[in-house]
Amino acid sequence: MKKSLFTILIFVLFSNFLWSKIIMQPYLQAVTDSSIAILVESDSPEPIEAKYSIASSSATQLTAKSQTYKVTDNSAKTYIHRIYLKNLASYSNYTYSVSDNTTKYQGKFITAPSDDSKDFTFAIMGDCRSQTKIHSKIADDIAQKEPNFSIYLGDLCFSPSYSAWKDEFFIPSELNLIANVPFANAIGNHEDSKPNTYAFTQSPDIANSEDLGYFDFYYGPIHFIILNTEVNISTNSKQYKFIKNALENSKGKFKIVAMHIPPYVAGGHGENGKLISISEKLFVPNKVDIVLAGDSHFYQHNLVNGIHHLIIAGGGAPLYTPKSKDYTLNSAKAYCYGIANYSNNALTLEVYDINNNLLDTIQIKK
């Protein structure tokens, strides 16, 4: 009897050792028309397994294990695992689950369309930082709009520290959203190009292990170019050459650039000459449609050389008072977020305040 109890105890202890403890609700990154990444934070470098299938009762369940991870700078190391789901069907609904020995986490997602024939919606938010009640309300409002994915515009937390990420960005409402809605982030000056930022985010270019913070991807007919205004972006930089190459070879019907610091702004932190030069030399001749930016905490719509420059920076950081220039079409001192819809060769972007009042509508048809 004693030998049997001892055997059971050893088995239980050994089983607990084998299981990695998942520290936080897994969430989604890097969606394409055939792949997505599930990011899972755990206390161990041991691989973590996800189960997934097309959202159908008769679908075959598949499995995938994490093959890479990045380490946070927390005093007690944590490991952000990347579970890459590949060879997925385009524009299809999937469900997934990830478990440890105590908790099962579940989520869902839809892959990107492979052409311009499908309708989809995406959300836009920036500068949530440390006012978590406002951030929580906006995350809940975005979830109710059921977007396919989101573009975030930086300053997701007040500092690059592990505690800031966990206490300010990964709040319950945000985790509930990103468990089902993947996001891409244009790095801001507050989270900065630091180890935790690269640990907690993943670009669609999963084959490139170099942490750059700038990348591009296609979602249906839209070519998204995500820039990093916190690293070198001057004329001779790698990032400048990346922008030039991406735009000159773009196959997108629509082109959207997302960056934290805006080239043009009335009020707040003011215009940025270096980014204005990039807009004039690269964005204008290559027919960029929209530039999304944050940093100055308000909503503003500026139209310059045919490009809609939108500042959607009301995710929770203290608000600034906008001013006006000759290129300014609309401004609001308001906590805000955007919802964009693509349908039938038209892109319609609506901006809402925290009470879901409509602040602005922009429509581009092609």
Q: Give pLDDT, residue 20.
A: 81
**Distance in angstroms (rounded) separating the CA atoms of residues 257 and 255:** 7
Cα→Cα distances 107→58, 76, 242, Å: 18, 27, 34
Would you say 326 and 347 are in contact if contact means Cβ atoms under 8 Å apart?
no
Q: Give pLDDT, residue 12.
A: 39
Last residue of a domain, one of 44, 79, 110: 110
- Does one domain contain both 327 and 190? yes
- Domain total in the chain: 2
Instruction: Give per-residue pLDDT as tens, 274-326.
Output: 999 999 999 999 999 999 999 999 999 999 999 999 999 999 999 999 999 99
2 within domain boundaries = no
Would you say 315 and 132 are in contact if contact means Cβ atoms under 8 Å apart?
no
9 within domain boundaries = no
327 within domain boundaries = yes
3 within domain boundaries = no
Hey, what amino acid is at 221? Answer: P
Cα angle: 21, vertex 77, 175; to 5 degrees: 55
7 within domain boundaries = no
Report residue 127: phi and psi, to 5°: 60, 55
Instruction: Give per-residue pLDDT as tens, 137-146.
Output: 999 999 999 9
10 within domain boundaries = no
**What percent of the chain clears pLDDT 90, i.e. is strictly above it?**
89
Supply 209's token pair. Answer: 């292990």
Confidence of residue 208 (pLDDT cuts 50, 70, 90): low
- DSSP helix, strand, coil percent of the chain (3-state; round to 5): 20, 35, 45
* pLDDT, average across residues 201-224: 87
Q: Is the pLDDT of residue 103 over 60?
A: yes
Would you say 336 and 299 are in contact if contact means Cβ atoms under 8 Å apart?
yes
Instruction: Give per-residue pLDDT as tens, 105-119.
Output: 999 999 999 999 999
Last residue of a domain, one of 110, 142, 169: 110
Nearest alpha-carbon partner for 155 in 196, 189, 195: 189
- Does one domain contain both 104 and 124? no
Report residue 184: phi and psi, to 5°: -120, 140
What residue has token string 């045919």?
306
- Does one domain contain both 197 and 65? no
**Distance in angstroms (rounded) separating the CA atoms of residues 297 and 335:** 8
1 within domain boundaries = no
- Does one domain contain both 69 and 135? no
**What percent of the chain clears pLDDT 70, i.e. is strictly above it?**
93
Range of the domain at 48: 19-110
The rounded mean pLDDT for the chain is 94
354 within domain boundaries = yes
CATH of the domain at 102: 2.60.40.380
- Does one domain contain both 69 and 179? no
Last residue of a domain, one of 85, 110, 135: 110
Instruction: Give per-residue pLDDT as tens, 63-84.
Output: 999 989 999 999 999 999 999 9
Which residues have CB under 8 Å from 244's CB, separation 6+? 282
CATH of the domain at 127: 3.60.21.10
Nearest alpha-carbon partner for 181 in 146, 155, 215: 146
> Higher-confidence residue: 11 or 19?
19
Instruction: Give per-residue pLDDT as tens, 116-132.
Output: 999 999 999 999 998 99
